[in-house]
Structure 1
Amino acid sequence: MSSRLTGKLRAFVFNSHNNGPKAAECRSCADPCNQDHDDFSSRLDIDMDSDMLGSVKPYHRQVVISTGKTDWEKDVTEVEGTLAALLTTANSSLGTPKKPKSTNDPLPSGLFSHTEAGRLAILNGSHRSFSPDELEETVIVLPDFIVVSGVPRTLAGAEAFWKAALDPALDRAGVTHRLDNLNTWVLPYSCLILLCSHKRRDKRCAVAAPMLEKTFQQYLEREGWEVHTDLHDLTSAPSLELQASSTIEKEQLIESQLKSLHAEHRALILRNSHVGGHKFAGNCIIYTPRGAGVWYGRVTPHEVESIVKHTVIDGQVLPTIFRGGLDLVCRGKKTLYDW
């Protein structure tokens, strides 16, 4: 990243006295490394020269669909009969193009707000559905930090899910009173780490993801965090629908639960399908309960300790590996966890 862009990011996003979280150093180990980290970038064709900033396509929401797999067909939204394909059809028929809001204070390249974008980003994830019906999926909705279970793998099911939780006109509470059988919960983790592992799209991500998953788990556990690599079954706890009788009550309940999560020190690491920019492998997205999403590229095990300490724990952003970010600018806030 050029010094000009790094300086711009520091001024707009990472200055703790102005708009948001401060910057931190990217690499914790020595260069050359003295910790036996496996640097896969030395044997893969990784783009180390292009500017990564601005390489993330803005989106209103991103969904991660349960599949229990770590690799998928090349284009997951075109595989007939899958929820990814059905949801793409539902979004095309039900969604309307969202015009960006005009603003007198535009964000710099690479930063965007979900309220100003209309695209629905559809991913497959490595987590397994905890619905008792094998024809139903469990979907994580971001940046809302919500889990929706019992989504039927049918066009009608995809449309019901879209209307209940994905319509751009809805906030994170979604539709409170519905006729469908969908159940929702707050994603019960202090952060979600997504790692692209889509081999049939690009083998570089498939090489990077398992190494990064192992290294993230190692450093998180060293910091005393609990780490899951599959979504915990939430059905033992009452759904949000059972706990709230109105949209206002549901929103208050969600916010209360989200605000308490950072202190839990529990992380969920999932592998996911193609997010774009595979030439920048390893690709990593980190979401916090507040709804901030940080996209990193060229991530190797060398950077993981710094990401854990500075981004996951302290809520800071590392400019050197920064590709883009969702809802990062919060005036007066010092970390990605501040409300």
Structure 2
Amino acid sequence: MSSALTGKLKAFVLGSPNAKKVYQNLQAADIPVTTAECRSCADPCDQDHDDFSSRLDIDMDSDMLGSVKPYHRQVVISTGKTDWANEVTEAEGTLAAFLNTVNTSLGTSKKPKSNNGSSPPGVFSHTEAGRLAILNGSHKPFSHDESEETVIVLPDFMVVSGVPRTLAGAEALWKAAVDPSLDRAGVTTRTDNLNTWVLPYSCLILLCSHKRRDKRCAVAAPILEQAFHQYLEREGWEVHTDLHDLTSEPSLESQASSTTEKGQLIETQLKSLQAEHKALILKNSHVGGHKFAGNCIIYTPRGAGVWYGRVTPHEVESIVKHTIIDGQVLPIILRGGVDLACRGKKSLYDW
């Protein structure tokens, strides 16, 4: 870890005015936060961590908090790849491009609401914005039909399968699960052939690996994936690096006959996931802020999304223990986040 970041961590632990203010602002916004150190190893490192930041041009000086653009939903489209065209929404013939076209014509122009100082910068509720963030992911589609994709919808923690890689398929996906007017239950009565499930993991870890956009993320992602795998398994968690095929399990549509019933079923399933101790790690396309590599987003079943930057293997054990297991935010590496507020709760997993 660079001396600049180490200095910031020490300043936080020692209670510098700026660090103390960040912590207090997060607390005041009802965000579960911890004063635990981000770095879990000695400095210099005594655990043979691969500190890629020492050989990459990482921005260690700018304030990261506030570097996340608000969005209503974020979708991660199956590609089975770890690198993509520079602009995934402009790659002809891809679902990302088709969905971007549909969203432009059908989506809302609602601008993010000002939090008027009620939340730290970059920390927002998904209801405050209408923007759709479209990502490609490393997971493979469920369908044997190569023209169909499997899409993860966030922060809803939902999976939609059988999405045709066409303009019509993108429109069906948008109307079924992405339209900002919909809650996480989406639409129950539909004429399409899409199937949906709850994402069956206790947490989802997204790691930017988009080399053609910025090589720093491509260097960081596989190293961080290995580190998360190591520390999660050490804690007794089951770790997947591809989305488990859900087609052998009943879809939500087959179990619920109304939107109300579907919503109740979803909530019941989501609440049961924390005890599963299962994590899914995926690589994804550019999310912004590549100068802060490694970039890591952690989603919980409740729908909270924690955006961390400047993550190296030095910080992974602390992230696993304090954020993934305890559901608390580490302020110093926080870029921002969605739906982090938990009034009266102690964890991002609490309902």
Please give the range of the TM-score, normalised by the shorter of the 2 chains. Answer: over 0.9
Q: Which residue, out of 21, 34, 54, partners 2:32? A: 21
Match of 2:281 in 1: 269
Q: Which residue, out of 35, 49, 58, partners 2:47? A: 35
Deviation per residue, 1:36-66 (Å, 9 max, x gap): 0010000011111111010011100000000
Q: Is the 8 A contact 1:28 1:302 kept in 2?
A: yes
Matched, 1:251 2:263: yes
Match of 1:323 in 2: 335
Q: Is the 8 A contact 2:26 2:120 kept in 1?
A: no
Match of 1:292 in 2: 304
Report the Cα offset of residue 101 of structure 1.
Answer: 4.9
| Partner Cα separation in structure 2 for residue 6 and residue 244 of structure 1 | 48
Question: CA separation of 1:103/1:39 partners in 2, compared to 1, >3 Å: closer, same or farther?
Answer: closer
Report the Cα offset of residue 159 of structure 1.
Answer: 0.5
Question: CA separation of 1:34/1:289 partners in 2, compared to 1, >3 Å: closer, same or farther?
Answer: same
Match of 1:148, SS? strand
Deviation per residue, 1:73-101 (Å, 9 max, x gap): 11100000000000000000111212445
Q: How does 1:101-180 map to 2 (within 5 A)?
A: 101=113, 106-180=118-192
AA of the residue aligned to 2:239 = V
Match of 2:25 in 1: 12
Report the Cα offset of residue 14 of structure 1.
Answer: 3.9
Match of 2:19, SS? helix
Match of 1:185 in 2: 197
| Partner Cα separation in structure 2 for residue 39 and residue 104 of structure 1 | 38
| Partner Cα separation in structure 1 for residue 314 and residue 276 of structure 2 | 26
Question: CA separation of 1:28/1:131 partners in 2, compared to 1, >3 Å: closer, same or farther?
Answer: same
Match of 1:253, SS? helix
Match of 1:302, SS? helix
| Partner Cα separation in structure 2 for residue 89 and residue 106 of structure 1 | 34
| Partner Cα separation in structure 2 for residue 78 and residue 55 of structure 1 | 23
Q: Which residue, out of 223, 228, 235, partners 1:223? A: 235
Q: Is the 8 A contact 1:191 1:268 kept in 2?
A: yes
Report the Cα offset of residue 11 of structure 1.
Answer: 2.1
Question: CA separation of 1:177/1:217 partners in 2, compared to 1, >3 Å: closer, same or farther?
Answer: same
Q: Is the 8 A contact 1:226 1:267 kept in 2?
A: yes
| Partner Cα separation in structure 2 for residue 44 and residue 329 of structure 1 | 34
Q: Which residue, out of 200, 203, 213, partners 2:212? A: 200
| Partner Cα separation in structure 2 for residue 311 and residue 100 of structure 1 | 26
AA of the residue aligned to 1:292 = A
Q: Which residue, out of 84, 91, 94, partners 1:79? A: 91
Match of 2:193, SS? coil
Match of 2:272 in 1: 260
| Partner Cα separation in structure 1 for residue 116 and residue 93 of structure 2 | 44
Report the Cα offset of residue 102 of structure 1.
Answer: 6.7
AA of the residue aligned to 2:21 = K
| Partner Cα separation in structure 2 for residue 159 and residue 107 of structure 1 | 34
AA of the residue aligned to 1:94 = L
Deviation per residue, 1:275-297 (Å, 9 max, x gap): 00000000000000000000000
| Partner Cα separation in structure 2 for residue 105 and residue 277 of structure 1 | 23
Structure 2: which 5+ runs fail to align?
A: 1-7
Deviation per residue, 1:201-229 (Å, 9 max, x gap): 00000000000000100000000000000
Match of 2:4 in 1: none
TM-score calculated relative to the size of structure 2 = 0.93
| Partner Cα separation in structure 2 for residue 172 and residue 185 of structure 1 | 11
Match of 1:56 in 2: 68
**C-alpha RMSD of the superposition:** 1.4
Question: CA separation of 1:103/1:58 partners in 2, compared to 1, >3 Å: closer, same or farther?
Answer: closer
Match of 1:210 in 2: 222
Report the Cα offset of residue 110 of structure 1.
Answer: 1.8
User: Percent identity of the aligned residues?
Assistant: 82
| Partner Cα separation in structure 2 for residue 82 and residue 269 of structure 1 | 23
Match of 1:124, SS? strand
| Partner Cα separation in structure 1 for residue 72 and residue 175 of structure 2 | 15
TM-score calculated relative to the size of structure 1 = 0.96
Report the Cα offset of residue 108 of structure 1.
Answer: 2.0
| Partner Cα separation in structure 2 for residue 84 and residue 252 of structure 1 | 30
| Partner Cα separation in structure 1 for residue 191 and residue 23 of structure 2 | 47
Matched, 1:91 2:103: yes
Report the Cα offset of residue 105 of structure 1.
Answer: 6.5
Match of 2:100, SS? helix
